Chain A
Amino acid sequence: EVQLVESGGGLVKTGGSLRLSCAASGFSFSGYNMNWVRQAPGKGLEWVSSIDSSSRSIYYADSVKGRFTISRDNAKNSLYLQMSSLRGEDTAVYYCARDHRAYTYRNCFDLWGQGTLVTVSS
């Protein structure tokens, strides 16, 4: 089955760190650019970060630049998001999402995980 499964969310104190993981299965993970998108409680979708298939091109939203690090391990079919210096406004469900087309840039997202909730509280 083609799927993405996130893990690693939880409750963390303000200023703390957390590492999210996304396990991919059922498709050729190494050929796709991957993304993290978050959704604060009751709010809309916010793109967080993207990484291309070879990890050569990486992008971040201004809101997380310098605090979050995206990475991937193609041998393990896994995507990661290392989050540090966490703030209350980082509280959200974090989704990993696959680019629509392999080996290309500027795509929408055709496959989403179920999400993992990150709660940042003092």
Chain B
Amino acid sequence: DIVMTQSPDSLAVSLGERATINCKSSQSVLYSSNNKNYLAWYQQKPGQSPKLLIYWASTRESGVPDRFSGSGSGTDFTLTITSLQPEDVAVYYCQQYYSIPPYTFGQGTKLEIK
């Protein structure tokens, strides 16, 4: 199974500042035949269901603000939120969908306002 490890576990950032969350997979999630990374990011606000933010490591889902961006390839990925807003307080998860089953998620990163 591919193990997904996020860092940090929690993060406090001032409003308007940049937040960076990292995700590392235990093996590459890059599929060479289509050059796509099978890596997604989700946002889960308190009391809500998870919401897809980013897929293919860097493609924003429709309706997601452009202050959210994903980067990385192979085994190392980053979710960046530029200019943090109050509504961005949430837990963020990465997920690999390259080698299934099982689908595996990172342990989550809790983002708070400083």
State the CA gap A109–B61 with chains docked (Å).
11
Q: A44-B105, A45-B108, A47-B104 are in contact. Are A95 and B49 (CB under 8 A)?
A: yes
Closest approach, in angstroms, between the C-beta of B50 and any C-beta of chain A? 6
What is the number of residues of chain A that contact chain B, defined by CB distance less than 8 Å?
24
Tell me if B's interface is mostly helix, strand, loop or mixed: loop
B107 & A61 in contact (Cβ 8 Å cutoff): no
| A65 nearest CB neighbor, chain B only | B101
Q: Is A19 an interface residue (CB 8 A)?
A: no
A115 & B49 in contact (Cβ 8 Å cutoff): yes
A47 & B102 in contact (Cβ 8 Å cutoff): yes
| B50 / chain A contacts, CB cutoff of 8 Å | 37, 45, 95, 97, 109, 112
Q: Is B98 an interface residue (CB 8 A)?
A: yes
A108 & B55 in contact (Cβ 8 Å cutoff): yes
Q: Is B40 an interface residue (CB 8 A)?
A: yes
B105 & A59 in contact (Cβ 8 Å cutoff): no
A106 & B98 in contact (Cβ 8 Å cutoff): yes
Interface core residue of B44, B50, B91, B95 (most chain A CB under 10 Å): B50
A residues 36-92 near B (Cβ < 8 Å) are 37, 44-47, 50, 59-62
Residues of A within 8 A of B (CB): 35, 37, 44-47, 50, 59-62, 95, 97, 100, 105-110, 112-115
Jot down 23 A-B pairs with beta carbons below 8 A, ordered by A.
A45-B42, A45-B44, A45-B93, A45-B105, A46-B105, A47-B101, A47-B102, A47-B104, A47-B105, A50-B101, A59-B102, A95-B50, A100-B52, A100-B55, A105-B100, A106-B97, A106-B98, A108-B52, A108-B97, A109-B50, A109-B95, A110-B55, A112-B50
List the 3 closest pairs (A to B, CB-CB), nearest first.
A108-B40, A59-B101, A47-B103
